């Protein structure tokens, strides 16, 4: 899985240099697709089943778009934030990661949103080896986000990952009594999770738009998304989609 994770990491580096005013979301997607082609990596997103198959290798979500934005001719402008989520399969194993970028100079609220959302992911990385069950980690992530007066998206969650992109268990970024009772799971060596907090600057509610893919905040507030594929090992947490060591 580390091989797939490194390709995903490389793809994100190629995309990051294109995140600037006047770049189109399609150009960013093309850069990621090119990296996958160089490594004979299979996109996990392109053709993903839905009412219409997902048409790109990257979900590119701008401003109030939470996840699953479809790349196109939209040009980024100064002050935007843009979330890039992509994944691939190499040698039969999957990697999946997301990051939200600032386009030029962004507002203080947007900057805080990026800091808090990435911070929520960092909390998960730090707490995975220390806690016994996922619900304990999710509670800390949620409390951290809400202390900043932001909201955790609850309609979409992380997931197990391995031979396929979406495997059991479901990995919510928030605590609920229902999950603690019916869906919680122990944190054990060998577990691999795609942990992906999605955080709104306003209320948590989100909805799917008419293209059947793009998810936006119901109140029009900004949203950010960070994700890594994480392996729980006897030595702690390995970030499989992290930079080469």
What is the domain partition of the chain in residue ranges? 2-239
- In this prediction, residues 174-203 reach a mean pLDDT of 97
pLDDT at 238: 98
Is 96 annotated in some ligand binding site? yes
Prediction pTM value: 0.97
Question: What is d(CA 153, CA 198) in angstroms, rounded to the nearest whole number?
Answer: 6
Is 115 annotated in some ligand binding site? no
Is 212 annotated in some ligand binding site? no
- Cβ(237)–Cβ(193) below 8 Å: no
Cβ neighbors of 71 (< 8 A, separation 6 or more) are: 24, 25, 26, 28, 29, 56, 58, 60
Residue 245 has pLDDT above 90, yes or no: no
Residues 198-241: tens digit of each pLDDT: 999 999 999 999 999 999 999 999 999 999 999 999 999 999 99
Q: What kind and span of H or E run contains 239?
A: strand 236-239
Is 12 annotated in some ligand binding site? no
Paired tokens of 70: 């479809």
Query: Tokens 């992530």 label which residue?
Result: 141
Residue 175 has pLDDT above 90, yes or no: yes
Paired tokens of 78: 């100064």
Is 39 annotated in some ligand binding site? no
* Topology adopted by domain 2-239: Creatine Amidinohydrolase (3.90.230)
Average pLDDT, the chain: 98
């Amino acid at each position: 899985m580390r091989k797939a994770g490194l390709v995903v990491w490389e793809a994100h580096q190629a995309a990051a240099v294109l995140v600037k005013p006047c770049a189109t979301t399609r150009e960013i997607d093309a850069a990621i697709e090119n990296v996958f082609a160089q490594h004979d990596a299979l996109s996990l997103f392109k053709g993903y089943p839905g009412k219409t198959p997902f048409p790109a290798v990257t979900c590119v979500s701008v401003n109030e778009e939470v996840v699953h934005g479809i790349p196109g001719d939209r040009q980024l402008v100064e002050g935007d934030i843009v979330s890039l989520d992509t994944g691939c399969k190499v040698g039969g194993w999957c990697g999946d990661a997301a990051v939200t970028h600032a386009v030029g100079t962004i507002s203080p609220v947007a900057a805080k949103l990026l800091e808090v959302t990435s911070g929520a992911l960092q909390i998960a990385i730090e707490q995975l080896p220390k806690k016994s069950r996922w619900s304990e980690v999710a509670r800390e992530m949620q409390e951290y986000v809400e202390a900043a007066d932001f909201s955790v998206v609850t309609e979409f969650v992380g997931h197990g990952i391995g031979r396929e992109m979406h495997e059991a268990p479901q990995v919510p970024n928030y605590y609920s009594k229902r999950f603690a009772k019916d869906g919680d799971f122990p944190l054990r060596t060998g577990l691999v999770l795609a942990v992906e907090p999605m955080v709104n600057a306003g209320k948590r509610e989100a909805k799917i738009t008419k293209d059947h893919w793009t998810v936006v905040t119901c109140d029009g507030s900004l949203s950010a998304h960070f994700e890594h594929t994480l392996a729980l090992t006897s030595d702690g947490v390995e970030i499989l989609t992290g930079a080469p060591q």
